[in-house]
Structure 1
Amino acid sequence: MIKLLVVDDSALVRKLLGGIFASEPDFSVSFARNGREALELLPKVEPDVVTLDVHMPEMDGLTCLDRIMAERPCPVVMVSSLTALGADATLRALDLGAVDFVPKPSGAISLEIDRIAPVIVQKVRLAAETPIRKSLRLAERVRARVRAFESRAPEPRIAAGRSPAASRPIRPRLERGAVLVGCSTGGPPALDTLLSQLPADFPLPVVVAQHMPSSFTAALARRLDGLCALSVVEVTRPMPLEPGHVFIARGDADTLLSSRAGEPFVLTAPASPAYLWHPSVDRMVASALEFMDPAGLVGVLMTGMGRDGAEAMTRLHQGGGRTIAEAEETAVVWGMPGELVKAGGADFVEPVHLIPQRLLALVG
């Protein structure tokens, strides 16, 4: 039985969320109206997972999350409003140690909740199964490990069955090369670690598909831009695919690579129903393979549930490109990178803090 603590100041939201999980045979649900009540209930309920509203009276969700991670760490899923303010708070929550987030119902809540109920159940169930060592202050933990490794050269971690030749630098025409990154659950802290270590003169453009709503990806791009030497922008219109830039795919849509007058571009497109998650990693990589030489491409698949990106990156690998899968030891959820490894499409399997060094070695 999964013990769930629902923390929300709205009686209606508590009722609706309670109804969703009451219909699941393996959940036992308790409730708190704010962060203060939640902290009081933690030793009594001993929850396996907590859903936590961001904005509450007496004690808000971020303060409560910080206390949970310090006093009784357990997996937390944030329930966030789809606003710019909600996006910034959610990204901060993920940095503090929240495993994932779900959108807070808006408009006709009782109707909206039915639509998002399956996603809520899936994310909360997955969070309950996530070892807390992987969700507790992931960003701080990874940064500490990076500092410990700074004086050490990374040992080659070539995936099973791969030739040492795979570790040789790629030789793309730089104007036709790119790094393609896909991630989902646990992605924002992993992107912090990856992108903040790339220098301003990194020779390839980087395109990122992170599963997120459209109201969150602009905040993600702004946040990363403040952390990185590279310029980080959200893809909202056709943009030249230039080195020195990181292009964050817009949420609730798909981002494609294309060519205009012989020059590479990145652009946003309506989400395709042929793909389950958006922005779609598979569709992004497939679009690049249509006109770019795979030998000039590097695919990086990091933490996330499901298998988005595994199929297309396996094709990239088979075509002569390079692929890196995040290692299970640092992934919050080893779904997407694990599927790439199982498919035989990973050239390297690296902890997240060593992926930047691997990229730098590959692009010479």
Structure 2
Amino acid sequence: MGGDLLRDGKIGIAVIGCGHWGPNHIRVFRSFPEAEVLWAIDIDESRRQRIRALFPGLPTEKDPRVVWADPAVDAVVVATPTKSHFELVKASLQAGKHVLCEKPLCTAKGEGLQLAELAAAKGLLLMVGHVFLFNPGILKVKELVDAGELGQLQYVSATRTNLGPIRSDVNAAFDLATHDVSIFNFLLGAKPELVSATGASFLQPGVEDVVFVSLRYPGGTWANIRASWLDPKKVRQITVVGTRKMVTWDDLDLTSPVAVYDKGANAVPEYADYGEFLRVTMWDGDVLLPKIQMQEPLKNQNQYFLECLQRGRVEKSGPDFSVEVVEVLEAIEESLRKDGAPVRLT
């Protein structure tokens, strides 16, 4: 696969969707010498005009069929609203194109399984842009978790808020909490067993502006997510609590996004004349600020996608992982409809 893609030294890329993320994909792929962006597709003429102004000479079209018919296009980036992902990814795969799709892959697990099966049947690569899996700070936290530095993980917590951007096609769970579900699944190496969620729609009926999600993972680790686009302050933070140490990640801290705390508490059984009781002890040690090499996560992600195309396989953020994220989002939606009733994942 890799040899065919590099037959002329360039991997042909087309970007479908030129709203919020599409122009960033174009910018990043144009920075790689091994890639060439051949098309930018959007149904909105004003967006196509903006792309032509930003990237003079780049062909733009309204109809994605020009991309699917172009033999020079090796891979397609789908950066359109979530509810259009399934049909566009499916059509791209059927046309013989590899696909990098923005998160989430689709809105239903069944759709995701169809796309995964189609990609496998055609020998094509399907990857989803869970961009925080390529964030240097999150990768450092993953390194600490995998090395056992934190001990047994007890719980993880995420806050992701801002005033906007406000979506109408999906709610705050599908738009914002998707990131944290993917991060938690990545850090813990599993999907949750149980999901419960509540939320509220203040601006648009039936579209939750704020969601509160609880998840139970295998091994007894609990997780919590607060996601909102109706909040006065932009926050992107995660806390990981283990039996040995604790870690925080703050995406907006550009100097020290990760902090490792040598602090915690445990309960030790003790015995006295009047019986057995638990004695709780706490410790408060040093705080370590590991050096994090600041890199643009989208650039890391898209570089990885090109490397996957060259070696013929996706090992991170591939279809299996991404379908599990969609499965969790579906469970969150079901729990929201049931006023927070727990939903068990199979």
TM over 0.5: no
**TM-score per shorter chain, which class?**
0.3 to 0.5
Structure with greater helix share of residues? 1
Structure with greater strand share of residues? 2
Larger-gyration structure (1/2): 2
Using CA pairs below 8 Å that are at least 6 residues apart, which structure has the higher relative contact order?
A: 2
TM-score, normalised by the number of residues in structure 1: 0.36
TM-score, normalised by the number of residues in structure 2: 0.37
